[in-house]
Structure 1
């Protein structure tokens, strides 16, 4: 095992330590986004939802308590898509699975790939809102003029009723915003429509 030995000269030692500190901070800067994403997915922090398998969803006990889920759809101005939810709200028994549909249409004359970011409100409900299947798990590519239905299968974990901070929540808002995938050219919707 190699051991780093610092120079005996105080100025050289300070320079090496400063360089090591800068390298460590640079490394933490690059690691912060994936680490934060993992933290949010594990804890539900910031309204991040949980992801469950079919088997996990099937094992959940369905309660008689009803909760309302409100749906919201947004599109980043750089993405020339029309994106809406097919219904504004759904009511379900806590623990039961439900399917909701969103619709998207590519308004441009070229294939475009988008990715959806999402959250729930109130934020405290994030750790109890589980998605079994969702269009948001992967990038979505739409051909020119193509319209698609995008389903999400979800449930609300009955543990929400055991948490003193969430037991009285009557409605959860599930919000999506579609963004242009990182490798796509950046043109605004106005520029795309003006080119037609």
Structure 2
């Protein structure tokens, strides 16, 4: 084999190695992109980062003789023709007291629509202490034309919020939900609960 042939063979082998490496990198990035949303959501739920509330399976056993105002906010994204609102704009439970509130959603479009809600808490520091026992978030909800669904939320504010230096002076918390069209729906889209009969689901 001549030197020219040897160099050509080496160059082709190097190009092939680079191509394979690029394909592996692209595949890895695609996989990371698909995993990033659920992983980020899990990270936020565990840490309370970015105002994300905590997921719990049981009620608080400690109730303080101190109240905190909780305000409820409701939004819908463009492309989702729903009326979405809290039944009550605010309440003042005792810190540690488990309470239930409700939102309602009405489909104002002439066809079935599926939506899903995401949420956050402000101020963000309070997210780690806002514990939801029952919620309609992150699950798909389909509403028929004109159908209205009552969606309860059961929560309590962790008594530790009154001890932590960065949160002990917080007197008002806002729980905000935004409904988006579901990307996997057939007629239109929206994200949330499941069916009308599934009312509330655990977060």
The interval holding the TM-score normalised by the smaller chain is: 0.7 to 0.9
Q: Could you say what secondary structure the match of 2:161 adopts?
A: helix
- The structure that is strand-richer by fraction is 1
TM-superposed deviation, 1:102: 1.2
Contact 2:114–2:188 (CA under 8 A) maintained in structure 1: no
Is structure 2 residue 47 aligned with structure 1 residue 46? no
For 1:137 and 1:36, locate their aligned partners in 2 and report how far apart those are by CA, in whole Å: 13
Contact 2:113–2:143 (CA under 8 A) maintained in structure 1: yes
Equivalence for 1:34:
38
Q: 1:179 to 1:186 in 2, by over 3 A?
A: same
Deviations 1:122-161 (A, max 9, x none): 1111111111111225322222111222211110011112
Equivalence for 2:87:
86
Deviations 1:38-63 (A, max 9, x none): 1111111111111111xx214x3111
Q: Could you say what secondary structure the match of 2:96 adopts?
A: coil
Equivalent residue runs for 1:77-116 within 5 Å: 77-116=78-117
Q: Could you say what secondary structure the match of 2:39 adopts?
A: helix
TM-superposed deviation, 1:27: 2.2
Is structure 2 residue 59 aligned with structure 1 residue 57? yes
Equivalence for 2:131:
130
Q: Could you say what secondary structure the match of 2:59 adopts?
A: helix
Structure 1: stretches of 5+ with no match in the other structure: 1-7, 188-196
Contact 2:67–2:94 (CA under 8 A) maintained in structure 1: yes
Structure 2: stretches of 5+ with no match in the other structure: 1-9, 190-203
Give the structure-2-normalised TM-score: 0.79
Tell me how many residue pairs correspond in the alignment. Answer: 178
Equivalence for 2:156:
155
Structure number with larger C-alpha Rg: 2
Q: Could you say what secondary structure the match of 1:169 adopts?
A: coil
Root-mean-square deviation (CA), in Å? 2.1
Q: Could you say what secondary structure the match of 2:38 adopts?
A: helix
